[in-house]
Chains A and B, each alone.
Chain A
Amino acid sequence: MAETLQNLALGFSVALGPQVLLYAFVGCVIGTLVGMLPGVGPLAGISLLLPATFGMNATTAIVLLAGIYYGAMYGGSTTSILMRIPGEAASVMTCIDGYAMTRKGRAGAALAIAAIGSYVAGTVSVVGLMFLAPPLASFALRFGPPEMFALMLLGLLVLAYMSGGSMAKSLAMAALGLLFGMIGIDPMTGFFRFHYGLVELGDGIGVVPVAVGLFGLSEILLTAGQATPPEVLKPRLRELLPSRQEWRDSVWPIGRGTVLGFLIGIIPGSAHIISSFVSYAVERRLSKHPERFGQGAVEGVAGPESANNSATSGAFVPMLALGVPSGPIPAVMMAAMMIHGISPGPLLITQQPELFWGFIASMYVGNVVLLILNLPMVGVFVNLLRIPYPILYPAILVFCVLGVYAVNGSVVDVWIMAVMGALGYLLRKFDFETAPIVLGLILAPMLEMSFRQSLAMSSGSYAIFVNRSIAAAMLLVGLGLLLLSLRPILIRGIDWRRRLGHEANPRLEEGNP
């Protein structure tokens, strides 16, 4: 405990330095904007800003990118509440009761509860990250190639299991992502695979062009042809104070959302999205008046908003402690760290304490910055939503091309982005999830390497995966998930969200882009 506090003091000495503080602020502002703009989620936002961090030192770069991530979580709630358009996917549940509150003249209170819930959840979950990551990292030092292989396989299976659609579709997308990760030079033999004469593919396909293509460009392709943006309701500052009853109704949902979000965040998958769905379902189930949900219940805003912010910190636990990203956003963050010469994993905390604890402390600072940004300045940010999409999307496209090109200074990456944009557009039209592709892409080289190293260690015997207890346990859990998923595959592609309360609000389905 004393050691942790001492380390945290070291972290604050880094985070409160003027340069780091400035970049935390800039990251939070950009993140808020990114979260508010439909079509630019945190993943595309982080990917696009990645080249701008090349000139910075590693700590400021990571603080800036993390600021964009949790800033987007805050910003996403604004469009959900005021326009019923989720700025990013995790804010879908906030649309239901947040917009209903707006229609009842309680937009200010909904925004305030969302911001305060996000602040509490963000701050408390950083405490969890602070205490959980170091012991987990120590434990992970026992991991050899078989354990790493089992862990990554389990991560992909959990992601597929937790995703919204059928598991077969998610696993197919994960396999596709892993196949993309096979492109390039085989690290064990030096064999150049699937290069088609392009030397730029030697290091494989970059995660940035794939992420920007699948998430940013495909969203533009799907949205640009659609017309008539909805009306923007601008709240007045004096309306921002929730009533006493609204405070009372929000306290427990914020608490539950925080704990739920953090725990779900640790599990691989699109944690911040899933956590908000689960939190909404829990709040509705626990409520004495579930009929209020969908009609402007403040609990329906407080719970999901707290949960998705808490999950953001939770998602950093496996990335920082194990070096295994739990979803596409941590995967891009991890790629960013690698570009800056840092290898996330068990040794990060001991070898780079200033970076790790500076990052943790900057998250505390960032949450305060976001609370200040998101309450009094919400009226300023809302003006951005008045820009017509036909003007906005060409600008977003310019930044997509710029961001993707700048990572390696290669037009091959721009081509990859265009191809991935077309692929993402088609996959989303055909109701496939694209998040497993990004995770598969970044895990592929590590997964293949650990698999082949394991076999080399055991002279080709597959028994190594079952003889070592940690690896065997993880593979057993993965097998269990596969078996569990067989039932919905056989009876029909059951959407788990239907059971968690999404079906009670069909109007939301109609209104969502």
Chain B
Amino acid sequence: MIGPDPAGWPTRYATIDRIGGLALVVLALGVVWEARTLPFGTLHNPGPGFAPTLLAVALGVFAILIIAVGGHSPPLSALTWGEGTHALAILGASAFAALILERLGYRLTMLLVLVFLLGVVERKRPLTVAALSIVLSFGSFYLFHNLLKVQLPRGPLGF
């Protein structure tokens, strides 16, 4: 994703490695906080909280190392987010699928996801959108559910 450090940025503080490392430190602290409710046991007889705490500490140590040596990585501003809108739309479609898959059934859910991605995000012609959405949603259901006997959810209308 990121090319080699072209030099000239070592003095900047907000490099991608440092920001990434910082996020991992926060995550490690969060895990340690969450693991406090689990019985830790002792060093010689570890409980269920022992390994998560130990791993969170290890994650924190590695993250601090990343921050410590991360001064030479490219600055945060070198990251480009040109595909960000697409990425958000696709993530939204995935979340939508998770939300309604068992309510509407596989075929209708996938039909809606495909219409959204092909028609709204990619702005394909309505005929192309309709044809591809129907073929893919119903075709994949037939292939996996009917032929390969994979259990897929059906909605209230039998779809």
Q: In the complex, which residues of chain A have a beta carbon less than 8 angstroms from the beta carbon of B48?
A: 186, 188-189, 191, 193
Query: Given the known A-B contacts A172-B24, A398-B137, A402-B106, are A179 and B52 also in contact in the complex, defined by CB atoms under 8 Å?
Result: yes
Query: Given the known A-B contacts A225-B86, A406-B151, are A391 and B69 also in contact in the complex, defined by CB atoms under 8 Å?
Result: no
Query: Given the known A-B contacts A52-B144, A391-B132, A430-B16, are A172 and B59 also in contact in the complex, defined by CB atoms under 8 Å?
Result: yes
Query: Given the known A-B contacts A166-B66, A493-B69, are A398 and B140 also in contact in the complex, defined by CB atoms under 8 Å?
Result: yes
A103 to chain B, nearest CB (A): 23
Q: In the complex, which residues of chain A have a beta carbon less than 8 angstroms from the beta carbon of B151?
A: 406, 409
Of the residues A179, A224, A225, A459, contact of B55 by C-beta under 8 Å: A179
B144–A391 CB distance below 8 A:
no
Size category, B interface: 35 or more
Compute how far the CA of A390 lies from the CA of B124 in the bound complex, rounded to whole angstroms: 9
B72–A414 CB distance below 8 A:
no
B153 to chain A, nearest CB (A): 8
B108 within 8 A of A: no
B1–A401 CB distance below 8 A:
no
Query: Given the known A-B contacts A224-B83, A390-B124, are A175 and B152 also in contact in the complex, defined by CB atoms under 8 Å?
Result: no
B38–A411 CB distance below 8 A:
no
Compute how far the CA of A432 lies from the CA of B59 in the bound complex, rounded to whole angstroms: 14
A394–B117 CB distance below 8 A:
yes
B117–A225 CB distance below 8 A:
no
A461 within 8 A of B: yes
Q: In the complex, which residues of chain A have a beta carbon less than 8 angstroms from the beta carbon of B126?
A: none
Query: Given the known A-B contacts A224-B86, A509-B3, are A401 and B97 also in contact in the complex, defined by CB atoms under 8 Å?
Result: yes
A291 within 8 A of B: no
B85 within 8 A of A: yes
Which residues of B in the span 25-42 have a Cβ within 8 Å of any Cβ on A?
A: 27, 31, 34, 38-39, 42
B52 to chain A, nearest CB (A): 5
Of the residues B55, B58, B62, B148, contact of A182 by C-beta under 8 Å: B55
Query: Given the known A-B contacts A179-B55, A397-B94, A421-B94, are A225 and B66 also in contact in the complex, defined by CB atoms under 8 Å?
Result: no
B87–A225 CB distance below 8 A:
yes
B84 within 8 A of A: yes
A16 within 8 A of B: no
Which residues of A in the span 109-123 have a Cβ within 8 Å of any Cβ on B?
A: none
By DSSP majority rule, is chain A's interface helix, strand, loop, or mixed?
A: helix
Compute how far the CA of A448 lies from the CA of B53 in the bound complex, rounded to whole angstroms: 12
B136 to chain A, nearest CB (A): 6
Interface bits A418-439 vs B (CB < 8 Å: 1, else 0): 1001100101111110000000
Q: In the complex, which residues of chain A have a beta carbon less than 8 angstroms from the beta carbon of B39?
A: 189, 191
Which residues of B in the span 54-71 have a Cβ within 8 Å of any Cβ on A?
A: 55-56, 58-59, 62-63, 65-66, 69-70
Of the residues A179, A393, A431, A459, contact of B2 by C-beta under 8 Å: A431
B121 to chain A, nearest CB (A): 8
Closest to A188 in B: B48
Among A29-37, A140-148, A214-222, A313-321, the stretch in contact with B:
A214-222
B1–A431 CB distance below 8 A:
yes
B56 to chain A, nearest CB (A): 7
Size category, A interface: 35 or more
A425–B94 CB distance below 8 A:
no
Of the residues A191, A405, A460, contact of B38 by C-beta under 8 Å: A191
Of the residues B51, B101, B118, contact of A401 by C-beta under 8 Å: B101
A398–B87 CB distance below 8 A:
no
A500 within 8 A of B: no
A492–B72 CB distance below 8 A:
yes
Q: In the complex, which residues of chain B have a beta carbon less than 8 angstroms from the beta carbon of A492?
A: 69, 72
B44–A455 CB distance below 8 A:
yes
Query: Given the known A-B contacts A182-B52, A394-B117, A451-B51, are A168 and B69 also in contact in the complex, defined by CB atoms under 8 Å?
Result: yes
B94–A217 CB distance below 8 A:
yes
Compute how far the CA of A425 lies from the CA of B43 in the bound complex, rounded to whole angstroms: 37
Query: Given the known A-B contacts A390-B124, A402-B144, are A490 and B90 also in contact in the complex, defined by CB atoms under 8 Å?
Result: no
Q: In the complex, which residues of chain B have a beta carbon less than 8 angstroms from the beta carbon of A52?
A: 144, 148, 150
Query: Given the known A-B contacts A402-B106, A418-B91, are A431 and B150 also in contact in the complex, defined by CB atoms under 8 Å?
Result: no
Residue of B21, B42, B59, B85 with most partner-chain A CB within 10 A? B59
A462 to chain B, nearest CB (A): 8
A415–B98 CB distance below 8 A:
yes
B20–A221 CB distance below 8 A:
no
A417 within 8 A of B: yes
Residue of A54, A397, A460 with most partner-chain B CB within 10 A? A397
Residue of A399, A401, A489 with most partner-chain B CB within 10 A? A401
A395 within 8 A of B: yes
Q: In the complex, which residues of chain A have a beta carbon less than 8 angstroms from the beta carbon of B56?
A: 179
A391–B118 CB distance below 8 A:
yes
A390 to chain B, nearest CB (A): 4
Q: In the complex, which residues of chain A have a beta carbon less than 8 angstroms from the beta carbon of B98?
A: 401, 411, 414-415, 418
A223 within 8 A of B: yes
Compute how far the CA of A455 lies from the CA of B95 in the bound complex, rounded to whole angstroms: 43
Compute how far the CA of A263 lies from the CA of B83 in the bound complex, rounded to whole angstroms: 39
Compute how far the CA of A432 lies from the CA of B38 in the bound complex, rounded to whole angstroms: 30
A51–B52 CB distance below 8 A:
no
A256 within 8 A of B: no
Q: In the complex, which residues of chain A have a beta carbon less than 8 angstroms from the beta carbon of B34?
A: 194
Compute how far the CA of A459 lies from the CA of B17 in the bound complex, rounded to whole angstroms: 42
Compute how far the CA of A498 lies from the CA of B39 in the bound complex, rounded to whole angstroms: 46
B113–A398 CB distance below 8 A:
yes
Residue of A172, A393, A451 with most partner-chain B CB within 10 A? A172
Q: In the complex, which residues of chain B have a beta carbon less than 8 angstroms from the beta carbon of A43?
A: none
Query: Given the known A-B contacts A168-B65, A401-B94, A455-B45, are A225 and B83 also in contact in the complex, defined by CB atoms under 8 Å?
Result: yes
Of the residues A415, A421, A431, contact of B17 by C-beta under 8 Å: A431
| A to B CB contacts below 8 Å, 12 in the list | A52-B148, A179-B52, A189-B39, A189-B47, A193-B52, A221-B87, A394-B118, A397-B113, A402-B152, A405-B101, A411-B99, A490-B69
Using a CB–CB cutoff of 8 Å, the interface residues on chain B facing chain A are 1-4, 16-17, 19-21, 24, 27, 31, 34, 38-39, 42-49, 51-52, 55-56, 58-59, 62-63, 65-66, 69-70, 72-73, 79, 82-87, 90-91, 93-95, 97-99, 101-102, 106, 110, 113-114, 117-118, 122, 124, 128, 132, 136-137, 140, 144, 148-153
